[in-house]
Chains A and B, each alone.
Chain A
Amino acid sequence: MKQFLNDRAPYLLVAPTVLLLLMFSIMPLFIAFFMSFTDMDLAGIANWANIEWIGLTNYIEIFKDEVFIQALLNTIVYVVIGVPIVIGLSLAIAMAINFGTGKVFEWFRVVFYMPSITNVVAVAVVWGFLFNPQYGLFNFLLNTIGLPDVPWLQDPFIAKLSLIMLAVWRAVGINMIIFLAALQGIPRTYYEAAALDGASTFQQMFKITIPLLRYAIFFVTVTTLIGWIQFFEEPLIMTEGGPLNSTTSLALFIYNNGFQLSNFGYAAAGSVVLFILIITVTLIQFRLQKNENNY
């Protein structure tokens, strides 16, 4: 018996993890794909006989759905504005922290990383209060320096920016840590040699630091893009997609259709579109990266 177990030990060791991933990650992917061609809804759950194969109907419907198009456009706004800010800000903070030599600078890592680990609901509740038009701190501070109120979550466009602000605040920390690890891997002797040759700080930054960070920048860009295409919790908790669907993201659209309206087949079609979007964007990234390496 013991020998039997030992021979199969590697399989037994990986079995729980592999089975769980198979069951809750890989299998659902295929189920989602199949479901997107059916009219699965609450009646379908109750009795499988009620589920019908409807071909591409869900996909045709979804691209005619104004809410879906709006969610797609909103998601593009989130990605186009949010991702560059996250990358730029986390890189800038990482370089600033890396520049310093004192003990203080180690504490800055903690300060900027902290929003990344705190609970999204708690944070959204707090920011909702900060954004409050009457009793919020942000408008109070604006008024104090003589500026008018801002309709943080009431105006369709500003609401998007407000959510981006919150999401950037949460995303900077983790990316900063990755950049910092990469920065600390660059030998100081490179800079010393450049300084002896009379290179200015800015020249050093653009000729040494940025090129050597290319891999880290690529990694952060890909993961941040994937994350922001799935923008979800901020609108779910803070605005529920409002006002007038102006903050609904693709992921929230899927969630609403699945869990609020119980249109499971339709929501699955939405999630397949999201998946294809993520894969496409990621592949483009890899292609661009490859081209860059060639010259």
Chain B
Amino acid sequence: MIPNEKPVAVNVKREKFSPLPDLNHKRKAKLSQLLIALILTVLGIAFMLPFFWMVISSFKTDAEILALPLTILPENVTFEHYIDLFVNLNFLTYLKNTLLIVLASFFGLLLTAMAGYAFAKHKFKGSNILFVGVLATMMIPGQVTMIPVYLMLNQMGLTNTMMGIVLPGLVGAFGVFLFRQFMTTIPEEMLEAARLDGASEFRIFFSIVLPMSKPILAVQGILTFIGAWNSFLWPLIIANDEALYTLSVGLALLQGQHGGNYALQMAGATFMVVPIIIIFMIFQKHIIEGYNISGMK
């Protein structure tokens, strides 16, 4: 990743392999396509197997899930485990906390975008050093900062608070990098024109730069949502109180406390995984093409 590299947003059009006149060759190509599709299908089913099993098992009764030999499909479909999660367990609280973290992380995304804009479109004293410094933080492993950050938060009295859970991961260097890469492509003339009209830099950011950055905002927005929805380590470290647990921490707790209750665990896992899968299915084009924007070719 070279910081100065211009973003490559082109989608290389796939040209069809120019068919050779030889008919035999054409048939052979078709056959190998079919063969590869077949191999990928088998491998793909194996990859999806844990998800299938998770969903199927979550609808089985407690008796059935511990019955031998195993049944593949549930004999009596039951929703009791999903009801359990919310009625007898605190999944509603976990869900609320998780959504709060999602909200906070979107605020962090805004901060990241602001920094990306400044690095992309402003030359200021120390900008290069600052940008390199920001990128350098990507190399610092989480395990090294984990304990000092915990002690710092403890010193600030932020352990066991939502603030303490959210702050350490609010901004990320990679996000700044992606925003900067994208925003360098915004034409300078547009910003200049707005400046001549007397718009402040903040006004320009909110009414010109952000609207023009929709593609990268979409990608980053989805990835931020997924990251926040899945956040596990900081809530685990910072929250002592179950009232602050996120879905992941709650699920880990459930696994510890209801070790033998597999159907309930599968219901909890399904509740965490399925929304992400749905969101991913809807936006998968944006996410996957986001890697092209980042210029990672």
Contacts and interface: CB of A to CB of B under 8 A. Distances in A.
A191 B280 CA distance: 33
Interface residues of B, number: 99
B36 A230 contact: no
B195 to A, nearest CB: 9
Contacts of A99: 32-33, 36
B53 interface: yes
Contacts of A27: 148, 152
Contacts of A100: 33, 36-37, 40
Interface in B137-170: 137, 139-152, 154, 167-170
Contacts, number: 283
A14 B114 contact: yes
Specify the main secondary structure of chain B where it touches its partner. Answer: helix
Nearest to B33: A100
A14 B118 contact: yes
A119 B232 contact: yes
Interface string B17-32: 1101000000000001
A185 B266 CA distance: 41
Contact of A105 (B37, B54, B249): B37
A97 B70 CA distance: 35
Contacts of B18: 192
B291 A177 contact: yes
B105 interface: no
Contacts of A120: 230, 232, 248
A63 interface: no
A230 B51 CA distance: 26
B148 A118 contact: no
Interface in A164-210: 169, 172, 177-178, 181-182, 184-185, 188, 191-192, 195, 201
A18 interface: yes
Contacts of A105: 37, 40
B288 A17 contact: no
A144 to B, nearest CB: 9
A278 interface: yes
A9 B151 contact: no
Interface residues of A, number: 97
Given A16-B111, A129-B265, A181-B296, A21 B147 contact: no
Contacts of A287: none
Interface stretch (A52-60, A80-88, A250-258): A250-258
Nearest to A230: B141
Contact of B288 (A13, A115, A118, A177): A177
Contacts of A125: 251-252, 255, 265-266, 268-269
A45 B69 contact: no
Contacts of B36: 96, 99-100
Contacts of B249: 121
B280 A192 contact: no
Contacts of B181: none
Interface in B25-56: 32-33, 36-37, 39-40, 43-44, 47-51, 53-54
Specify the main secondary structure of chain A where it touches its partner. Answer: helix
Give the one of B40, B49, B205 with max A CB within 10 A. Answer: B40
B124 to A, nearest CB: 4
B277 interface: yes
Contact of B272 (A25, A93, A122): A122
A254 B144 CA distance: 9
Contact of A93 (B40, B117, B247, B276): B40
A35 interface: yes
Contact of A111 (B48, B70, B297): B48
A4 B201 CA distance: 12
Contacts of A123: 50, 269, 273
A24 B268 contact: no
Given A24-B145, A129-B53, 4 more contacts: A13-B117, A101-B33, A119-B251, A129-B54
Q: Which 4 A-B pairs have CB atoms at the shortest separation, nearest pair first?
A: A9-B201, A28-B148, A13-B118, A17-B115
15 contacts: A9-B118, A13-B122, A14-B114, A29-B145, A93-B40, A99-B36, A101-B16, A115-B50, A117-B280, A119-B251, A122-B54, A126-B50, A268-B147, A271-B146, A274-B144
Interface of A: 2, 5-6, 9-11, 13-14, 16-18, 20-21, 23-29, 31-32, 35, 40, 45, 93, 96-97, 99-102, 104-105, 108-115, 117-123, 125-130, 132, 134-135, 137, 140, 169, 172, 177-178, 181-182, 184-185, 188, 191-192, 195, 201, 215-216, 219, 226, 230, 232-233, 237, 250-251, 254-255, 258-259, 264, 267-268, 271-272, 274-275, 278-279, 282
